[in-house]
Chains A and B, each alone.
Chain A
Amino acid sequence: MADLALPETPAKTQTRRQGDVIFRWLSRGCAFLVPALIGGIFLALLLYSLPAIKKFGVGFLMSPEWNPVTQEFGAASSIFGTIVSTLIAMLLAVPLSLAIAFFLVELAPPAVSRVVSTLIELLAAIPSIIYGMWGLFVFAPFLQADVQPFLASTLGFLPLFQGPPMGIGMMSAGIILAFMILPFICAVARDVFLLVPRTIRESAFGMGATTWEVMYKVMIPYGLVGLIGAVFLGLGRALGETMAITFVIGNSHRISSSLFAAGNSIASTLANEFAEATEPLYVSSLIALGLVLFLITYLVQILAQFLLRRLYRPWSVGL
């Protein structure tokens, strides 16, 4: 007990320093683990997809052919499906989640806001296979019976809404994806809106701005950086989503202009075909698909960083 009051002896500082050194190396090691893992995964994907890359070259990315019998593989239909389903999801989820977030922060009574916020966080916690099953058993039949026939009869002249309504297909995949990423974007957007200083919001109202003007002239520009982060969080999740998509996208290696038609995504193709692929070239082509998804996700992240840097100055300094 008494030695607490004494000045530290050199021996003690020595051990403390040693502890620091060990801790520094430990945390350094942990930090290096992340790039090592990413690098390792990338190298492994590259290595195993080499046979497919050698056989098909760049044509792998362009060819819509996917024929396990003749061993002809191309990624175009899977890439197309991944991008289209993600695009539909983003088009629906971004405006919707911004509106919800704004409502929660600015318009809703505190009690409502608290309950709805919790519910949104709960939505984010639902496992994706539940969304898939719900999509297949509840949502797709609803689309097939009510929504798609209506679209076909009113907007059927567009190539987007042609063909027999099956419920399952690109359209239901995109909408289910939107449901899945909505809570992520919404939760972050709400926090971003909350960070906008009260005084700024109130001055805007004080100058006679309407609620709409406050949202798109004050709140969104002020929080733009955070909002872009939220959008890319949702985008990243949408690109790699597997189980829910596999249930509802229709799993057909085909590029179609119609949203009613069945399609596939990279992740759903991998989930479907990996287990029973025995021929080396088949396996290699599937791994090459995985590599493509890896690169797409990586590019999206780079794009996000780039946008953040470019937009930060002109937008936030202006306010």
Chain B
Amino acid sequence: MQQAKWLTFAAIACIALTGVAQGQTLSINGAGATFPYPLYSQWAHKYHELTKVKVNYQSIGSGGGIAQIKAKTVDFGASDEPLKLEELDQAGLIQFPMVVGGVVPVINVPGIGPGQLRLTGEILAQIFLGKITKWNDPALKNLNPGLNLPDLNITIVHRADGSGTTWLFTHYLTLSSREWQEKVGTGKSVKWPAANSVGGKGNEGVASYVKKVGGAIGYVEYAYALQTQMSFALLKNKAGNFVTPNIESFQAATANADWQKAPGYYLVLNDQPGDKSWPITGATYILMYKQQADAAKAQAMLKFFEWCYRHGAEMAQKLDYVPLPPKVVELVKATWAKEIKADGKPVWP
């Protein structure tokens, strides 16, 4: 009897001790945006194989990511929407861009294939305001003289859940149309004014509604448009060109943006200059504290991000994300060296 008790005790002690031992291998916890989750989790997996450093990333949404880093329950947060400099300073945080993605208008109009329909920001806003209600509206016909646009009602498909995708898209419409700015504005969820509109949950929800409803127009992440082979529309950019959404046009928007003049990297890549720039482009951000409690952990974290910038680009492109241009990465690293400190000493490099 006594012996059995001792055995149980020993077994429990063993389990407890292995737990302690595991705790000693470094693990980094992050939480936030769902959009970069497939990429972050793949990066983390590969990095763990190479270095034994474990990065856990929970995709709980940008709002959740901001709340968690502010509550200090995670080591880094992730958000699709950049925080304003005042908000960062107030919380003692810095943010930097990690990868870039684009939002693409997708349509379901009989006879119109991918990349055939041309749109401008103003007309897109008119459609989403419910002012243009038919596909054969003169405004659309003028832009697309070669297309046979049918006499079909337009159905708006938007995200039903709050999301960074909606934020980026409505930000672009706000930039493009004064009326949109006054009536609707920018937000992760907004009051959609068009009478004929439905909301789908997630990118996949929007994609499936657009596919099912004839005459629908919606907006999804580039990766979804590509993987579901939907009919995307071309958009007119600041330089006046109609551009195709693809990795090159997102990267053009990223490279042409003036990051140096954006305090706290608060920069939305919508409507950037450049011949090839796709007008609805945005970066997804990492949030970290300037004052780090644990120098070793902070260093490990930055090493991981550095590795992602340097070696993760190929993986990013495979998953249809856009890696940051090298000159932006250099800028981010300089920020690390300047801003992130532990015990008063810089952590990087």
Contacts and interface: CB of A to CB of B under 8 A. Distances in A.
Nearest to A66: B191
B42 to A, nearest CB: 23
B188 interface: yes
A168 B209 contact: yes
Overall SS of chain A's interface? loop
B328 interface: no
A229 to B, nearest CB: 34
A141 B212 contact: yes
A164 B64 CA distance: 37
A69 B167 CA distance: 11
A234 interface: no
Contact of B191 (A69, A141, A278): A69
Interface in B167-201: 184-192, 195-201
Contact of B189 (A65, A68, A144, A169): A68
A121 to B, nearest CB: 30
B198 A252 contact: yes
Interface in B120-176: 153, 155, 160-163
A39 interface: no
B198 A247 contact: no
A70 interface: yes
Contacts of B185: 69-70
A298 B192 CA distance: 32
B277 interface: no
B91 interface: no
B240 to A, nearest CB: 30
B161 A272 contact: yes
B319 to A, nearest CB: 22
A149 to B, nearest CB: 12
B198 A273 contact: no
Which 4 A-B pairs have CB atoms at the shortest separation, nearest pair first? A276-B162, A251-B199, A251-B160, A67-B191
A190 interface: no
Contacts of A268: 160
B212 A144 contact: yes
A48 to B, nearest CB: 15
B264 interface: no
B201 A276 contact: no
A262 B186 contact: no
14 contacts: A66-B191, A67-B190, A68-B187, A69-B185, A69-B187, A166-B198, A247-B201, A262-B198, A262-B199, A272-B162, A273-B189, A275-B162, A276-B63, A276-B64
B10 interface: no
Contacts of B215: 164
Contact of B192 (A136, A167, A252, A272): A252
A200 to B, nearest CB: 51
Interface in A105-141: 136-137, 140-141
Contacts of B163: 276
B208 interface: yes
A164 B154 CA distance: 10
The B contact surface, by secondary structure, is: loop
B153 A275 contact: no
A277 B198 contact: no
A275 B63 contact: yes
Interface in A239-266: 246-247, 250-254, 262, 264
A262 B162 CA distance: 18
Interface of A: 65-70, 136-137, 140-141, 144, 163-164, 166-169, 246-247, 250-254, 262, 264, 268, 271-273, 275-278
Nearest to B185: A69
A167 to B, nearest CB: 6
Contacts of A247: 201, 205
B62 interface: yes
B288 interface: no
Contacts of B191: 65-70, 253
A141 B108 CA distance: 15
A247 B206 CA distance: 11
B66 interface: yes
B274 interface: no
Contacts of B155: 164, 166
Nearest to B184: A69
B196 A277 contact: no
Contacts of A144: 212-213
Interface string B84-125: 000000000000000000000000000000000000000000
A133 to B, nearest CB: 10
B272 to A, nearest CB: 24
A136 B208 contact: yes
A68 B191 CA distance: 7
Contacts of A264: 160, 199
Contact of A276 (B188, B208, B212): B188
A254 B185 CA distance: 18
Nearest to A247: B201
A69 B186 contact: yes
Given A66-B191, A69-B190, A273-B161, A252 B197 contact: yes
Interface string B37-71: 00000000000000000000000111110110000
Contacts of A250: 198-199
A163 B155 CA distance: 11
A280 to B, nearest CB: 11
Contacts of B67: 278
B64 A275 contact: yes
A252 B199 contact: yes
Which residue of A66, A264, A272, A273 has the most chain B CB atoms within 10 A of its CB atom?
A: A272
B318 to A, nearest CB: 27
A317 to B, nearest CB: 51
A251 B200 contact: yes
Nearest to A163: B196
Interface string B212-252: 11010000000000000000000000000000000000000
